[in-house]
C-alpha cells in the first residue's frame, strides 16, 4: 500500500511511528524487557511508561545532574530502572509503592537490572511514606505516577522535598483526552487538580506534552521548582 499522509493521527500510524522511533532511539535491553514481561506474568496492570518516555525520564535525570530521585508509584520498576541508570556513583532512587506484591516484583526486577543497591523501594501509601522523607537531603527529580486522585498532594510533597531547580514530572495528564472534561470521574478530576496546582502554586513553573504511543493517547507534565 502507498503511504498515505494522514492529517490526523490514526492508531495504526501512531503505533507505527512509536515502533519506528523506539526501534531507532531506544536500545533493546533484557532487564527492561523482563520488567515489562513481569507485569503480565504477575497479573499486574500493564501500565508502565512507554520506552520513549522511560528514556525521557532517564535523560531528564542526566540533564538535571540528578543524584537523588523520588518516584511515587513503582509498579514493576520499569521507570525506576531507567531513572536508576541515570544516577552517578552514590546516587539514590527512593520509590514508593502501595501494593506489597508490586513492591516484591519491583525488587526482583531491580535486582535483575543490577541497580538494587541504589534503589530503595518504600512500601506504603504515598500519603504515609512521603512525610517520613522530610528532613533528608532534597530530591533533584521527582516522578509522580501513582493514583491520579492524589496528584495535588504528591505535587505538594514534591515541592516540600525538593529545592529550587528540582525537576518534577507527572505521568498521565491527558488520559485519552478526558482531561478536558469536568465530569469524567475521580481520576481525571485528580489529574486536573494536579494541573491546577502547577498553574496556581508559585513553587512551580510547568508545561505539558501530549504523547501518542503504545500506551495510547496520554501525556506528561514537566515542571521545575522555582
Query: Which residues lie near ligand DHB (CB under 6 A)?
Result: 47, 145, 171-172
Write down the least CB distance from residue 171 to ligand DHB, Å. Answer: 5
User: Of 109 and 172, which CB lies nearer to ligand DHB in the complex structure?
Assistant: 172
User: Of 39 and 115, which CB lies nearer to ligand DHB in the complex structure?
Assistant: 39
Indicate if the alpha-carbon torsion angle 160, 162, 164, 168 is positive or negative.
Answer: negative
Q: Check: CB of residue 44 under 8 Å from CB of residue 22.
A: no
Write down the least CB distance from residue 84 to Mg ion, Å. Answer: 18
Q: How far is CA 129 from CA 49, 74, 104, 122, in A?
A: 23, 13, 17, 7
Write down the least CB distance from residue 45 to ligand DHB, Å. Answer: 7
Residue 57 CA to its chain's centroid (Å): 7
Helix axes 30-41, 100-112, angle to 10 degrees: 160
DSSP letter assigned to residue 89: T
User: Of 174 and 203, which CB lies nearer to ligand DHB in the complex structure?
Assistant: 174
> Taking CB positions, which residue lies at the least distance from Mg ion?
171
User: Of 102 and 172, which CB lies nearer to ligand DHB in the complex structure?
Assistant: 172
Write down the least CB distance from residue 171 to Mg ion, Å. Answer: 4
Write down the least CB distance from residue 226 to Mg ion, Å. Answer: 25
Residues in contact with Mg ion by CB under 5 A are 145, 171-172
Closest CA to 190 of 199, 179, 201, 200: 179
Q: Which does 52 bind (CB under 5 to 8 A by kind): ligand DHB, Mg ion, none?
A: none
Q: Which does 71 bind (CB under 5 to 8 A by kind): ligand DHB, Mg ion, none?
A: none
> Taking CB positions, which residue lies at the least distance from ligand DHB?
47
User: Of 140 and 145, which CB lies nearer to ligand DHB in the complex structure?
Assistant: 145
Q: Which helix (H) or strand (E) covers residue 168, if one does?
A: strand 167-171
Q: Strands of 119-123's sheet, edge to edge?
A: 119-123, 92-97, 68-72, 141-144, 167-171, 216-225, 204-213
Amino acid at each position: 500500500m502507498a503511504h498515505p499522509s494522514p492529517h490526523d493521527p490514526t492508531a495504526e500510524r501512531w503505533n507505527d511511528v512509536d515502533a519506528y522511533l523506539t526501534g531507532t532511539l531506544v536500545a533493546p535491553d533484557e532487564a527492561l524487557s523482563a520488567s515489562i514481561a513481569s507485569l503480565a506474568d504477575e497479573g499486574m496492570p500493564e501500565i508502565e511508561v512507554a520506552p520513549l518516555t522511560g528514556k525521557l525520564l532517564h535523560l531528564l535525570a542526566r540533564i538535571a545532574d540528578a543524584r537523588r530521585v523520588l518516584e511515587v508509584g513503582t509498579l514493576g520498576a520499569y521507570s525506576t530502572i531507567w531513572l536508576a541508570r541515570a544516577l552517578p556513583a552514590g546516587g539514590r532512587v527512593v520509590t514508593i509503592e502501595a501494593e506489597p506484591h508490586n513492591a516484591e516484583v519491583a525488587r526482583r526486577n531491580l535486582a535483575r537490572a543490577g541497580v538494587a543497591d541504589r534503589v530503595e523501594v518504600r512500601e506504603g501509601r504515598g500519603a504515609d511514606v512521603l512525610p517520613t522523607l522530610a528532613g533528608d537531603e532534597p530530591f533533584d527529580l521527582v516522578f509522580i505516577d501513582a493514583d491520579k486522585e492524589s496528584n495535588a498532594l504528591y505535587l505538594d510533597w514534591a515541592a516540600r522535598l525538593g529545592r529550587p531547580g528540582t525537576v518534577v514530572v507527572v505521568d498521565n495528564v491527558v488520559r485519552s483526552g478526558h482531561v478536558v472534561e469536568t465530569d469524567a470521574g475521580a481520576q481525571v478530576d485528580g489529574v486536573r487538580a494536579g494541573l491546577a496546582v502547577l498553574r496556581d502554586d508559585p513553587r512551580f513553573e510547568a508545561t505539558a506534552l501530549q504523547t501518542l504511543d503504545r500506551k495510547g493517547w496520554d501525556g506528561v507534565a514537566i515542571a521545575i521548582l522555582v
